[in-house]
Amino acid sequence: MARRIADVPPYLFAELDRRKAAVVARGVDVIPLGIGDPDLPTPAPVVEALEVAARDPANHRYPDYEGSAAFRRAAAQYMTSRFGVDLNPAAPPDGEVLALIGAKEGLAHLVWAMVDPGDVVLCPDPGYPVYATHTRFCGGEPYLLPLLPERGFLPDLDAVPEQVARRAKILFLNYPNNPTGATADLVFWERALDFCRRHDILLAHDNAYAEIGYDGYRAPSVLQLPGARDVAVEFHSLSKPFNMTGWRVGFCCGNARAVAALGVVKNNTDSGVFGAVQQAAIVALGLDRRHLEERLEVYRRRRDLMVSALRSAGISAPSPRATIYLWCPVPEGETAAGFSGRLLEESGVFVTPGTGYGRHGEGFFRISLTCADARLEEAARRIGLLALG
C-alpha cells in the first residue's frame, strides 16, 4: 500500500456507513440522517430524456472528454440566466466550462492540476473532506481555516500568515456551506477575491448548494463580481437541486487556464460523462423553476419541523437559510463523536459528528433533511429523549 493511502484517515461517509450497517444488522430501526442523499425522485422530464438518449447508439461510444458542446452551452446558459454570468462554452484551452463526473470528482482533480508537493492549500474547517484529503494525496499541505460560530462560519482570511499565503495555490470556499448551512454575501466574496489577487491564489468555490435556499434567499455566484474570472473557478453539481446524486454530473466554470488545467488531468484519468446523462442534464438545467420550488418547499417544511422539535427537546437548533442540513450543538458536556455514537447505539438515529469535517466541528452534529416527515419527527423524539436523559 502506498504511504499516501496509509496516511489518510478513513473516508468519513464510508466509515459511517459501516457503523450504521452494524447497528442495522442487530435489528435496530435506524433512521438515517447522516448523508445528504435526497430521498425525492429525479424530475420526470429528466428521467424521460435519459430513457430516450440511452437508446441512441451515438451515446454508446466514448463521449467528448470536456463534455459535449450542447452540455457546455446549457451550463453556460444556466449561469447566464441564474447569475447573469456570461461564459465561453468553447472547448479548452479557451473555453470556460468543463463537464464533470460530479462536482466531487472535479474538486479532487483540481488539486492535482494546480498543486505541487510542498504547496499549501487553504481549506475550511469544518469542511468537505475532499479538499484536504486530495491535498495530502498529491503531497500538498492543507492549511486549515477555522469556521467559527461567532464569525457566522466565515473564515478570517486576514488571519492567514503572510508566509502561508505566499505558498498557497488554492483557496477552497463553499457557500451555502456544508456542513454548517452558513451563507456568504457579495461583500465577503469581494474580500475573498481581493485576498486571492494579492497572493496569486486560485479561488475555488464549491457552489453545490446554490439552488437550496429558503425564505426568499438565493445564493450568489462568485463569478458575478467584476474580474472574478481572473482568479476564480466555480463548481456546480446537479446532485442536490435536481435529486441526481447517483447520476454523477456537474461542471466547473470560470478562469479558462484553470479549467484547461483541470481538463488535462481529466483527459488522462477518465473518459468523460456518459452522453445520455449529459443529454438528460441539459433538460435538468433548463427546467422551469417550479420543479425546484416544489422540492424546496418540502425541505423548508422539514427544516421547520425538525428545528421546532429539537428546540422543544432542549437542543439549540438553528434555522438555516440554505442547504439541506442542520448544524446543531451537542448537549452540554458531550463530545461530537460521543453524542453521535450514543445516538446511533441507544436511539437508532444516525447523524454525522461534527469532527468528521475537521477539528473545529467539535461540539456539533449534522442532520440531513433527506427523510420523510414522519421519520424526522420520530428522530427528533428519540434525540430529545437521549439529550434530556
CA atoms within 13 A on the CB side of 260: 10
Looking at residue 388, what is its pLDDT? 62
How confident is the model over 141-197, as pLDDT tens digits? 999 999 999 999 999 999 999 999 999 999 999 999 999 999 999 999 999 999 999
Residue 4 has pLDDT above 90, yes or no: no
pLDDT band at residue 304 under the 50/70/90 scheme: very high
Strand bridging mode 202-206 / 232-237 = parallel
Alpha-carbon distance 173 to 202, whole Å? Answer: 11
Q: Is the pLDDT of residue 13 over 70?
A: no
Read off the pLDDT band of 8 (50, 70, 90).
Answer: confident
pLDDT at 332 over 80: yes
Res 306 pLDDT > 90: yes
- C-alpha count within 13 angstroms, C-beta hemisphere, residue 74: 21
Distance between CA atoms of residues 122 and 140, nearest Å: 10
- Residues near 157 by Cβ (< 8 Å), separated by ≥ 6? 145, 171, 191, 192, 195
pLDDT, the chain, mean: 94
All structural domains of the chain? 3-42+290-387 (3.90.1150.10), 44-285 (3.40.640.10)
- Give the confidence band of 348 by pLDDT, cuts at 50, 70, 90: very high
As a whole number of angstroms, the distance between CA 16 and CA 353 comes to: 10
The radius of gyration computed from the CA coordinates of the chain, to the nearest angstrom, equals 21
**Cis status of the peptide bond prior to 93, with omega within 30 of 0:** yes
Angle at 359 between CA 250 and CA 340, to 5 degrees: 85
The pLDDT score that the predictor gives to residue 35 is 86
Mean pLDDT of 358-378: 94
pLDDT tens column, 40-78: 999 999 999 999 999 999 999 999 999 999 999 999 999
Considering the entire predicted model, what is its pTM? 0.95
Averaged pLDDT, 327-333: 93
Q: What is the pLDDT of residues 101-144, one digit of tens each?
A: 999 999 999 999 999 999 999 999 999 999 999 999 999 999 99
What pLDDT does residue 43 have? 96
Kindly report, residue by residue over 212-236, the tens digit of the pLDDT. Answer: 999 999 999 999 999 999 999 999 9
Residue 11 in this model has a pLDDT that exceeds 70: no
